[in-house]
Amino acid sequence: MSAKPALWITRRLSDATIERAQRDYDTVINMEDGLHTADDIIKMSANVDAIFPCHSELFNEDVVVALNPRVKIIANHSVGVDHCNLPALKKRGIAVTNTPDVLSDATAEIAMLLMLGAARRAVEGDRIVRTGGWNFWSPAFMVGKQVSGARLGIIGMGRVGQVMARRARGFDMEVHYYNRSQLNSELECGAIYHSTVDGLLKVSDFLSLHCPATPETKGLMNSERLALMPDGSILVNTARGALVDEQALINALGSGKLSAAGLDCFQVEPGGNPAFSKMENVFMLPHIGSATRSTRDAMGFRALDNLDAFFAGKTPRDLL
């Protein structure tokens, strides 16, 4: 019997994923979830045939050039691959896969949570109750922004964006969207297409970001674009922190141009932006859009399916 391929799992994954990986591969697992430097990644590459990373491991050009030739595939535990320099990896002949489809529902749930929490002042309300400050009531107390019947703008009408649109219809929201191309009417389900981002922003009482982070979308929501949104609107980001100019968002929140924001991702991760922690109109989560047991199992198994296919001499389902 041939030796099992050596696999480096860079983060502690779901128990079911780890059990299956250990059964089929010679595994090295970072059970302590310590952060890895570029040097760590390069050093480990000499010992494995495949790497099973999350979005926290950066495969920039310098890292890719220095990877040991032994590494043949990077099977990402994520949909987004902005942490991977795809042209450099292709040049090295290293296959790259991701895990689409399986996390759309969970991520859309978090987007809805952030939208509702930001709109109804969840951070401020939680603080008042927890600190014993809830000692009065009046009709003017804790008045927020109503979600039901409002206009929702979605940038990126892919898998997650489409689920978000369906969930929003449960709140009788009028859904508008921008996408690189217009969807067919069956997938639109009544959503209104805008051919430009700027056109979408002008009608978005709420704006939810669901597009990938690419050189073209970096800093997509800058001061100029935030200024196009209706006064008192709300921004939700469950995609990637690179999409938002964080200082511009802070300025818009401070001036009242935006009434609130709901954020699950940041330019610096882990850690986030300390300036947001001072603002009670920012409802934040630590990048947990896909953090349900069923979804994390599905992501892990999808990545392992890709690895299994690759080492069986087949084309992985999610080869990029």
Instruction: Spell out the residues 6+ positions from residue 298 whose beta carbon is closer than 8 angstroms to its own.
Output: 99, 102, 103
pLDDT tens digits, 65-81 = 999 999 999 999 999 99
Active site residue 36: no
**Amino acid making up residue 12:** R
pLDDT in tens, 158-197: 999 999 999 999 999 999 999 999 999 999 989 999 999 9
**CA 280 → CA 109, 126, 145, 270, distances in Å?**
22, 10, 15, 20
Alpha helices (runs of H) in the chain, residue ranges in sequence order = 15-24, 38-44, 61-66, 86-91, 104-119, 122-130, 159-169, 185-188, 197-201, 223-228, 246-255, 293-311
Inter-helix orientation angle 293-311/15-24, to 10°: 20
Say which of 194, 287, 296, 302 is annotated catalytic: 287
pLDDT score, position 1: 40
Pick the CATH number of 104-284 from 2.20.25.10, 3.30.1330.60, 3.40.50.720, 3.40.190.10: 3.40.50.720
Catalytic residue chosen out of the listed positions 83, 176, 210, 240 = 240
Short-list 234, 185, 176, CA closest to 205: 234
Q: CATH 3.40.50.720 occupies which residues in the chain?
A: 6-102+293-311, 104-284
C-alpha to C-alpha distance for 20 and 216, rounded to whole angstroms: 38
Widest CA span of the chain, in angstroms?
75
Q: What angle do CA 66, 69, 70 make, to 5 degrees?
A: 125
Q: What are the residue ranges in the chain where pLDDT is below 70? A: 1-2
Q: Is 287 a catalytic residue?
A: yes
Given the residues 224, 269, 293, 317, the one annotated as active site? 269
pTM: 0.92
Determine the pLDDT at residue 2.
59
What pLDDT score does 35 carry? 87
Which fold does the domain 6-102+293-311 belong to in CATH?
A: Rossmann fold (3.40.50)
Is residue 121 among the annotated active site residues?
no
What amino acid occupies position 95?
A
